[in-house]
Structure 1
């Protein structure tokens, strides 16, 4: 793989993922303790449950990433979807633990690592594909977190992107338009 292409892929993937992490954290900052456990229906997940799942996935997939299968024998995936009475502080600690593991593993990768093969549930895939899986999976769940946050806060929600009706003004303003470009690798 071309070194500059590999470096660019890894750098932009990390920036995008940091942007999505930040969206989650900006949502959390607007929420009260009880909001983390709100569920819109009996089969729906609360923000706390989604965070449990994300942290479990990140820790399993990205611990010893290049050496071990991404579905660790110690992972209890079904348990990730069971509600617990975690405090806001405990939920945020789980979130941070997962992201520290994930981003630490990504930032430790070299260009040469990107063409290696890893395994998830004994199925081989390239490191690039493993990263791409997470570029789809984690923002999917972060979108759920943001949506739940909006539902909970209603008219007290502080928008995380371009407010409705302000696109033209945003497009004509100066500065960086792609928020992911504001993050360092």
Structure 2
């Protein structure tokens, strides 16, 4: 992995985080805690899980195993009514730990081996592992949001039946080396 590739990975994390941030804005306190059935998780529960995973994986990234002894993964999925403000505060804190870790990587430490559950990972493997894990859960959050909001749902990317128009704007402009997420970040 190069530092340039890492910058692209950072953008993708930013994009997926923003997808949840936008979904949370569309949901009430009660909706954040709504479980669609007994076996499902609420948006709040999934956010708690991602938060716990982010904090565990990226706190002391180079010096400690990514599965911290203080983490209680099962508690992240515990039934409960979780306060919106507390969820968002912890969510922001966890993502800041990730981005601080990414920003600390340089030409030397990018070559380090780190551990997750006592298994060796290159820095690249550790980031790709999480870049596969978080979008899985983020897709669940968005799906739950769509189920709850139904006709009131607001598209987070290319709206339904607008793909051709979106693509046309891309092909009407000169070739670009920008990241795909740039189109959606901070909109």
Alignment TM-score, normalising by the size of structure 1: 0.91
Partner of residue 51 from structure 1, selected from 43, 47, 59? 47
Alignment match, 2:182: 181
- How many equivalent pairs are there? 180
Matched, 1:92 2:88: yes
For residue 29 of structure 1, give the secondary structure of its aligned residue in structure 2. helix
Task: Tell me by how many angstroms 1:83 deviates.
Answer: 2.2
Task: Tell me by how many angstroms 1:102 deviates.
Answer: 1.1
Q: Could you tell me which runs of 5 or more consecutive residues in structure 1 were left unpaired when the two chains were aligned.
A: none
Q: Could you tell me which runs of 5 or more consecutive residues in structure 2 were left unpaired when the two chains were aligned.
A: none
Q: 1:127 to 1:178 in 2, by over 3 A?
A: closer
Q: 1:20-75, CA deviations, whole angstroms, 9 ceiling, x for partnerless residues?
A: 11111010111111010111111111000001100111111110000000111111
Alignment match, 1:129: 125
Is the 2:8–2:179 Cα contact (8 Å) retained in structure 1? no
Alignment match, 1:37: 33
Alignment TM-score, normalising by the size of structure 2: 0.90
Task: Tell me by how many angstroms 1:103 deviates.
Answer: 1.2
Is the 2:57–2:66 Cα contact (8 Å) retained in structure 1? yes
Matched, 1:65 2:66: no
Matched, 1:146 2:147: no
Task: Tell me by how many angstroms 1:178 deviates.
Answer: 5.4
Is the 1:36–1:88 Cα contact (8 Å) retained in structure 2? yes
Cα distance between partner residues in 1 of 2:154 and 2:117: 40
